[in-house]
Amino acid sequence: MDKPTHLIEFETMLLGRHLQLGAPRARRNGGRLDRSAYTLLSRIRMEGPMSIGQLSDAFGLDASTLNRQTAAMLRAGLVERIPDPEGGIARKFRITDEGASSLDAERAGNISGLEKVMAGWSPDDVAAFAGYLTRFNTDIERLDGRPWPRP
């Protein structure tokens, strides 16, 4: 660990592990969204209704993967298929009221967990960490060519 990037790699590996371990626990305690549904719903909320092609472009995933994920979300009542509001041929996925409320509940649980983890942090430290995470993610998105819309 002779370079800061080595430490960042190690800590991001641990962060991924912590996030994976927390997800099943959250679902057992009433959370209902898996990671893919949470991410897809978040993107659709930011951009509005999206087709499989648009989701594929946004996430860099193949259509078969997205078809499986969106089919599960349709069965769960989280999204619905609608005609393209702009008149295009492809049908789009729109968040249902159930999907919006599930996304809100999941996000609230995540925020509550973060607030517990950072309870001893100063507001300045929390803001600095948020700023560094935003910068880190936007630089990844720039290199990947897939920017994520932000509020």
Phi, psi of 30 (to 5 degrees): 110, -15
Q: Which CATH class is domain 32-144?
A: mainly alpha
**pLDDT digits 0-9 by tens, 87-112:** 888 899 999 999 999 999 999 998 99
DSSP string, 80-107: EEE--TT--SS-EEEE-HHHHHHHHHHH
Burial of residue 87 (CB within 10 Å: 0-12, 13-18, 19+) is exposed
In terms of Cα–Cα distance, which of 111, 90, 100, 83 is closest to 37? 100
**pLDDT digits 0-9 by tens, 108-136:** 998 998 999 999 999 999 999 999 999 99
Q: Which amino acid is at 91?
A: R
- Enter the pTM of the model: 0.86
- When the pLDDT of each residue in the chain is averaged and rounded to a whole number, the result is 90
Instruction: Give me the pLDDT at residue 86, please.
Output: 83
Contact assessment for residue 72 and residue 60, using Cβ atoms and an 8 Å cutoff: no
Instruction: Give me the pLDDT at residue 138, please.
Output: 96
Contact assessment for residue 133 and residue 148, using Cβ atoms and an 8 Å cutoff: no
More confident residue, 6 or 18: 6
Q: Where are the domains of the chain?
A: 32-144
Count the residues in the chain.
Answer: 151
d(CA 3, CA 32): 40
- What residues form DSSP beta bridges with 80? 94
**pLDDT digits 0-9 by tens, 44-92:** 999 999 999 999 999 999 999 999 999 999 999 999 999 988 888 889 9
